[in-house]
Amino acid sequence: MTRDQFITGQAFRVGAKKYQGEATFTYADGCILKQSRSSTDDVVLFTNHHCNVTTVGKNSFKGFVYVMDKLVRVSYKFEVLEIV
């Protein structure tokens, strides 16, 4: 995946597809949205907020989310994101 594909909201997953119906993600309005998919036909059933994005660089993005009052930070390079 490229930075431009990420910014325009192209759906992606982290790494290769592992199973039918695996969740995918998309970037919109400064956050990552999780797309929950059907296990029978891989269609998107619903979308919800997954984490906030703080920085979109040339090669990666950084984000954070709070889980049970704990701050969790993530950083992913665009090259490990697979386009759906």
* pLDDT tens-digit readout, 13-65: 999 999 999 999 999 999 999 999 999 999 999 999 999 999 999 999 999 99
Q: Is the pTM of this model over 0.75?
A: yes
Domain boundaries, the chain: 3-83
pLDDT value for 13: 96
pLDDT value for 35: 98
pLDDT value for 29: 94
Question: How distant, in Å, are the alpha carbons of 37, 47, 76, 79 from that of 44?
Answer: 4, 8, 23, 24
In whole angstroms, what is the distance from residue 47 CA to residue 3 CA?
A: 22
pLDDT value for 78: 97
